[in-house]
């Protein structure tokens, strides 16, 4: 099979097509013929050498979001050949990343794609959707409590807002002027200008601070002052800081959701019900992965870029 991967780390230009042996599923596993793989910042981190890959041999294959068709099933699998599915992949794990024609996945790591959704669109959901769910579960806020979201115009931020509103929370989010309409469309109750002093702007709406904050913009100590004493702060890049004031820092790690197929199926139903909005920012043939990475790193992408294999 063909994969898009790197033999040495560097800029987008190190991404190349490689041929590797076809994988086969074991018991309770499936093999997916991948039709689409989303491109995310974590992929660029791996490509540049910013992840620990242990003793894995190159080519190192990025990609944490895949959608495609089951084409082979292992013994005892509950899936059937031909099922249209989506799931997260673990580039540092046994089966490698999603930039691959064929991907082996455990039964409980995948779910059906949403209705009336193509593979490219479905591939935008798994990693960020599961990250959003994990963050909200960790904060454990109750209806009518307050949540702040930084990086609200991004894919993760958008999912967090939509899920939070579905759960009855009051949401304040940040946005640039050109993203204001987009963030409002997610359902945010209040929108403030983004930037290093976003905490001060949030406090203008909630003087005592918000009950919880999801820091999708990775502002860390710059965002923490927005949280009330005793509130919760969800970091998606495992910030090690201590904001004090009895604030609990929740370090979100989507790798922990690899076997969360039931949660992924819940996300599918929320898409079908119109709660979650999926956004494809651009589609690229897999061989143009380097160009997709260049566009991602140029910034300003709203929605996910997707490689089609």
- Give the pLDDT confidence of 227-251 residue by residue, as tens digits: 999 999 999 988 999 999 999 999 9
Are 206 and 88 in the same domain?
Answer: no
The answer to whether position 269 is within a domain reads no
Are 247 and 292 in the same domain?
Answer: no
Indicate the SS3 state at residue 79.
Answer: coil
The answer to whether position 271 is within a domain reads no
The answer to whether position 221 is within a domain reads yes
Q: What is the mean pLDDT of the chain?
A: 97
Does residue 54 carry a pLDDT above 90? no
Return the pLDDT at 238: 86
Are 145 and 249 in the same domain?
Answer: yes
Does residue 277 carry a pLDDT above 90? yes
Contact 203, 225 (CB under 8 A): yes
The answer to whether position 267 is within a domain reads no
The answer to whether position 273 is within a domain reads no
Cα separation, 27 vs 29, in Å, equals 5
pTM: 0.97
H or E, element range at 265: helix 261-272
The answer to whether position 245 is within a domain reads yes
Are 295 and 186 in the same domain?
Answer: no
Does residue 205 carry a pLDDT above 90? yes
Are 26 and 133 in the same domain?
Answer: no
Residues 6+ apart with CB under 8 A from 238: 251, 252, 253
Distance of CA 174 to the CA centre of its chain: 19
Return the pLDDT at 53: 87
275: left (phi over 0), alpha (psi -120 to 50) or beta: alpha
The answer to whether position 147 is within a domain reads yes
N- to C-terminal Cα distance for the chain?
A: 11
Are 141 and 249 in the same domain?
Answer: yes
Does residue 302 carry a pLDDT above 90? yes
Are 151 and 214 in the same domain?
Answer: yes
Are 63 and 159 in the same domain?
Answer: no
- Give the pLDDT confidence of 68-101 residue by residue, as tens digits: 999 999 999 999 999 999 999 999 999 999 999 9
CATH number at residue 205: 3.40.50.720
Are 70 and 13 in the same domain?
Answer: yes
Return the pLDDT at 104: 98
Are 142 and 196 in the same domain?
Answer: yes
Are 165 and 282 in the same domain?
Answer: no
Does residue 280 carry a pLDDT above 90? yes
Return the pLDDT at 131: 98
- Domain tally for the chain? 2
Are 154 and 81 in the same domain?
Answer: no
The answer to whether position 215 is within a domain reads yes
Q: Residue 56: which pLDDT band, with cuts at 50, 70 and 90?
A: confident
Does residue 55 carry a pLDDT above 90? no
CATH number at residue 55: 3.90.180.10
Cα separation, 228 vs 237, in Å, equals 21
What is the span of the domain harbouring residue 30?
2-125+278-308
């Amino acid at each position: 099979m063909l994969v898009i991967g790197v033999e040495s780390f560097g800029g987008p230009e190190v991404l190349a097509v490689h041929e590797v042996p076809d994988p086969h599923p074991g018991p309770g596993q499936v093999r997916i013929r991948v039709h689409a793989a989303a491109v995310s910042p974590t992929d660029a981190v791996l490509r540049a050498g910013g992840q620990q890959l242990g003793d894995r041999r190159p080519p190192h294959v990025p990609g944490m979001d895949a959608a495609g068709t089951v084409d082979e099933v292992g013994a005892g699998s509950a899936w059937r050949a031909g099922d249209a599915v989506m799931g997260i992949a673990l580039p540092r794990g046994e089966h490698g990343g999603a930039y691959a024609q064929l991907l082996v996945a455990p039964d409980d790591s995948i779910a059906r794609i949403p209705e009336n959704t193509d593979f490219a669109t479905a591939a935008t959901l798994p990693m960020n959707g599961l990250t959003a769910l994990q963050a909200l579960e960790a904060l454990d806020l109750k209806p009518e409590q307050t949540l702040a979201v930084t990086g609200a115009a991004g894919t993760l931020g958008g999912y967090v807002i939509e899920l939070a509103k579905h759960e009855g929370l009051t949401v304040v989010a940040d946005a640039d002027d050109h993203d204001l309409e987009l963030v409002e469309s997610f359902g945010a109750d209040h929108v403030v200008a983004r930037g290093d002093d976003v905490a001060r702007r949030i406090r203008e709406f909630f003087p005592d601070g918000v009950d919880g904050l999801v820091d999708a913009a990775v502002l860390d100590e710059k965002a923490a002052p927005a949280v009330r004493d005793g509130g919760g702060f969800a970091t998606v890049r495992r910030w090690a800081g201590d904001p004090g004031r009895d604030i609990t820092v929740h370090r979100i790690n989507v790798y922990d959701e690899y076997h969360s197929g039931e949660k992924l199926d819940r996300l599918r139903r929320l898409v079908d019900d119109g709660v979650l909005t999926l956004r494809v920012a651009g589609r690229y043939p897999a061989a143009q992965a380097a160009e997709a990475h260049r566009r991602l790193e140029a910034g300003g992408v709203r929605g996910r870029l997707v490689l089609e294999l």
